[in-house]
Structure 1
Amino acid sequence: MKMKRIAHPVIAVIAAAILTIGGGLVFDSTAQGQPSLSASANVQGDANPDVQALAAALSISRHAGKLVALSGPTTVVMTKEDLIKSAAKIADHKAVLAAQLEILAETGYGERAGAITRLVNDLGSNVELIQQGRSSLLSELLKGIRNRQHVSLTSTIEVVPAAETILDDEFYHLVSGGHDGGSADLDNLATDDLLRYAHLKNLVTTLDLATPTLLGASTQDNPALAGQLHEFFDGRAAAAERDIEYLSEIEGSELEDVLQLIQRMFALGQGDNNLWDGLYHRLGLLTTERILVAKVANLQQQLLDEIDNLAAEVQGLPQPPTMPEVEAGVPGVTDSEIKFGQSAVLTGPSKALGEGMQLGILAAFHEANQAGGIHGRQLTLKTINDYYETFFAFSGTSRLIGQDRVFGLIGSVGTPTARAALPSVEIGHVPFVGAFTGAQLLRRDDQTNVLNVRASYHDETETMVDYLEKTGKTRVAVLYQNDSFGLDGLEGVKKALHERDGMRLVASWYYIRNTTAVKAAAYRIANAEPDAVIIIGSYAPAAEFIKYARLRLMDDPIFMAVSFVGSSALKVRLKELDQSLADVYVTEVVPLPSDESSEVVAEYRAALSEYDSEAEPEAISLEGYIAGRLAIARLQECGPDVTRECFLNVFSESTSIDIDGLQLQYGPGDNQGSDQVFLTRIDSGGE
């Protein structure tokens, strides 16, 4: 068991010891209130090695404290001149420390001197790293302030006044019939006039909501809020784009100038070198500095402990009192348990997704535990309901990592929630396994703590568009959830269509996450008369959309949904709405759960039946089962001495993991295990 030092007033203790041993030494008070050696005796020349050791330790303690004081967080009040002066002071203190360490090394307390020397050198190295990063961080902090000023001025002086003025004019025109003092026949307003005003009103409201997120992107220093703010902005920007598209198509519109102003405002958060890129770069620098500052403080405490021990040893006294501290070990791993965490939706219109993933993971863990566990340890899962909302995803993930100390995260559900969780996961390099999302944000080349099982949404939409091309469908529309999930899928559709001649996107519209408010989307998409609609959403709003789109279309199009929809849940909901299952397709990223000729499916069905005899096999819990089996395979590979580093060691070279015939392939720059996509018709048992 490690022992943690109880803090002591080190300088005062050493001063008293020197007085006791050195006799003639006198202490004065410095300007900083610290005792200092007087010249009545030359400590450096004193023949007593005990006095020399204690005097050197006293000096080391003081100058190390000065280094720590110069290594606090970077603030915007600092100047380049301040950084230059700090660097000079740090060099001076390090020179004094080096000299005192040489004296200490010659006093006969070799073991203590060696420990103190190592700590001082580590302290100095980390102080230098902080100093080296200050200039870049200060530049980014000041840049953020300038960006915030720019956003604020642009919004309050240019964009908002222009937008509110044109909105006011449009309202007056609508109710007055275009004549001063006149009055329109409100019962017979033209649909186009109403839609024009509705789009403009919606655009101005969206701008009002998005502007604070751009201000946050400029100066925010809390990783907890970064993903949430970015997610909110992307949704508002996508909504604004639809309104701008509609308003731009109105012939002879006098809205052009204000629409360009609003577009420039949203462009601050989009494209190359946008405010969000700046935010993530700044947060990276801040996080690095915070880690170093904490490390410096910890090293200082260890140094004071060693100096405390030296003072006791010199005087022949017992070692100072200590208090027990439990060995940290590997998070989530004990002699009898390996604990995973899951943040997923368990209530609301997407609850079947979280429940399915949880069920599959638990079935896999139960199967392994019944066979004796992983090298004698039982697998456990702690699940927190994140309601499919970013705030709860971040707070839940932080709790699982910090408070519950799980080994890794598994079976996260959704793209926006994954984005919110990533800062906590990446800072601690915590394993993030088998997330139920195909978004590109979890497929970066540098994400060596993320193990994806499934194919991406771009893989799924490519499969859809390829099928539509082969069946002669050319007019494609997209219903998407207005967040990073929906936008990722929409981008995949656009990319696939761009690569084909004769096919085009005739309409796209959105709905808000955790709602089934899709009637407006059905109206707008139906007006474009598509022969195929691709749905990037969950099962409840997808089913509602199919119902209302069919009401407005003479000829039913093909409806196709990505795997996140949950084919079984979609099928159930369509039946509840008394809707036909004909011409409804879902892409799946795991084998068909009814295909018992597949070895992994047969194992899954047996494990599911053993864990919950009433559970019905379906694609979501199968994906959860495969994610659980992936975690089990990596733990078994690591042996009894499991660590996070070993668990994630699949990227240095090509690594193939066989799960009952299902091959998952990882390697340098590739954290996606499978590229397989299966297009299924839900009216034929998923064939």
Structure 2
Amino acid sequence: MRFNKILALSSLLLAAVTAQAETGVTANTITLGQSAAFSGPAKELGKGMHDGAQAYFDQVNASGGVYGRKIILKTLDDGYEPERAAANTKQFIEQDEVLALFGYVGTPTSNASIPAVSKAKLPFFAPFTGAQSLREPFNRNIFNIRASYFAETEKIVQQITTLSLKRIAVFYQNDAYGKAGLEGVTRALKKRGIEVAGLGTVERNSVDVSDAVAKIRASKPQTVIMVSAYNSSAAFIKAMIAAGSPPSFWNISFVGSQQLVTALGKDASGVQIAQVMPAPWDETHAIVKEYRKYYLQDGKKQWDYVSMEGFIAAKVFVEGLRRAGSNLSRDSLIRALETISHYDAGGYFITFNPSSHNGSEFVDLTMVAKSGRFLH
């Protein structure tokens, strides 16, 4: 009898030690890592993703956390540079020992981090990118909650060609992100027997668009599809308008919609942008009401698509934590996330399964009105 009691007590102690030893998990905390641009020309994207997520996590923590554990989101600035993102990822994994990586911003930065993610086998959740490299080939560690750039560019090209516009140029960032978007555009055009009319590039974290403007103007496009961040995109649009007889302009979601409008000022009127999240002012969606309520409570004053995405990402992630149960680990979290099927986050639906971690294909098209508001 005494031996059985000792054996039972030993088993309980072993279980407790094992639970405490799980990476990124203690009896009271769950630690995540986020590398994003918090400085430089793309800093508002990193700030938006972080602030939206933090607003949701703060509410969860105020209500007692998940199984009594508070969520801690650690951040490191990568300035939207892949080498810094890779170093940050190494620190999160080897020094901070986080449970998961969350809300990375950008294609080149995410791509640079994936080798370490795959080696450590930790979840890489909700990167702010629609690149195929984060979708194909399938990687068990990566979970996407936004539509792909292929889906965005397909919908943009579909709309443009409906308007009988066939001279379509592409302005893109000269890196993995820009090339991913360009691939989506050329793929969609090829389906319709159309070739790209002209190409112009800009370097990452640069606003030197003079060469791109000259090349694209020479192609005499009716419209330009843009695959860059908000500062370089604004510089390009302003330069094209100043040169006279500008075409129409389309952007994919990564641009940072509100940030682009702010940078453009009066020149924003008529600019069109694909969106992969619900409009943050459309309270017909329950998730938008929830976001606006908690975001204001967190001291923020301006709603936008980027923080909306961070908020939704946090909500879906917390659903995964709850499904994983109190015995939380990297592997149990991955398995729990894979059970999320037709999950209604409040009018925005997510589906994962063991063979696909691409949670949504939702794409909306918006246009900026003279007032600066988004029409959709």
Q: Same fold (TM over 0.5)?
A: yes
Could you report, residue by residue, the CA deviation over 1:220-269 in whole angstroms, capped at 9, with x for unpaired residues? xxxxxxxxxxxxxxxxxxxxxxxxxxxxxxxxxxxxxxxxxxxxxxxxxx
Q: Structure 2 residue aligned with 1:685, among 361, 373, 376?
A: 373
Instruction: Give me the whole-angstrom Cα distance separating, in 1, the residues matched to 2:120 and 2:313.
Output: 21
Letter in 1 for 2:308: L
1:263-662 mapped onto 2 (5 Å cutoff): 329-501=21-193, 503-554=194-245, 556-575=246-265, 579-612=266-299, 614-649=300-335, 655-662=341-348
Could you report, residue by residue, the CA deviation over 1:48-107 in whole angstroms, capped at 9, with x for unpaired residues? xxxxxxxxxxxxxxxxxxxxxxxxxxxxxxxxxxxxxxxxxxxxxxxxxxxxxxxxxxxx
SS across alignment from 2:160: helix
Letter in 2 for 1:662: Y
Measured on the aligned residues, the alpha-carbon RMSD in Å equals 1.5
Shift in Å at residue 426 of structure 1?
0.6
Shift in Å at residue 553 of structure 1?
4.0
SS across alignment from 2:196: strand
Q: Verify the 8 A CA contact 1:453 1:627 in the aligned structure 2.
A: yes
Q: Verify the 8 A CA contact 1:477 1:533 in the aligned structure 2.
A: yes
SS across alignment from 1:504: coil
* Aligned equivalent of 2:6: none
Q: Verify the 8 A CA contact 2:30 2:72 in the aligned structure 1.
A: yes
1:17-166 mapped onto 2 (5 Å cutoff): none
Shift in Å at residue 407 of structure 1?
0.6
Q: Verify the 8 A CA contact 2:86 2:113 in the aligned structure 1.
A: yes
Kindly indicate whether structure 1 or structure 2 has the higher relative contact order, using CA contacts under 8 Å at least 6 residues apart: 2
User: Structure 1 or 2: larger helix share?
Assistant: 1
Instruction: Give me the whole-angstrom Cα distance separating, in 1, the residues matched to 2:122 and 2:200.
Output: 36
Q: Percent identity, please.
A: 36
Letter in 2 for 1:378: K
TM-score scaled by length of structure 2: 0.92
Instruction: Give me the whole-angstrom Cα distance separating, in 2, the residues matched to 1:519 and 1:585.
Output: 22
Q: Verify the 8 A CA contact 1:651 1:669 in the aligned structure 2.
A: no
SS across alignment from 2:168: strand
SS across alignment from 1:655: coil
5+ residue gaps, structure 1, are 1-325
Letter in 1 for 2:211: A
Q: Verify the 8 A CA contact 1:343 1:383 in the aligned structure 2.
A: yes
Shift in Å at residue 447 of structure 1?
0.8
TM-score scaled by length of structure 1: 0.51
Q: Verify the 8 A CA contact 1:445 1:670 in the aligned structure 2.
A: no
Could you report, residue by residue, the CA deviation over 1:187-216 in whole angstroms, capped at 9, with x for unpaired residues? xxxxxxxxxxxxxxxxxxxxxxxxxxxxxx
Letter in 2 for 1:381: L
Q: Verify the 8 A CA contact 2:340 2:350 in the aligned structure 1.
A: no
Could you report, residue by residue, the CA deviation over 1:515-572 in whole angstroms, capped at 9, with x for unpaired residues? 1011110111011110110110000000000011123342x21101111100100000
5+ residue gaps, structure 2, are 1-16
Letter in 1 for 2:374: G
Shift in Å at residue 662 of structure 1?
1.9
SS across alignment from 1:606: helix
Aligned structure 1 segments of 4 or more residues deviating by more than 4 angstroms: 650-654
Q: Verify the 8 A CA contact 1:529 1:553 in the aligned structure 2.
A: no
* Aligned equivalent of 1:37: none
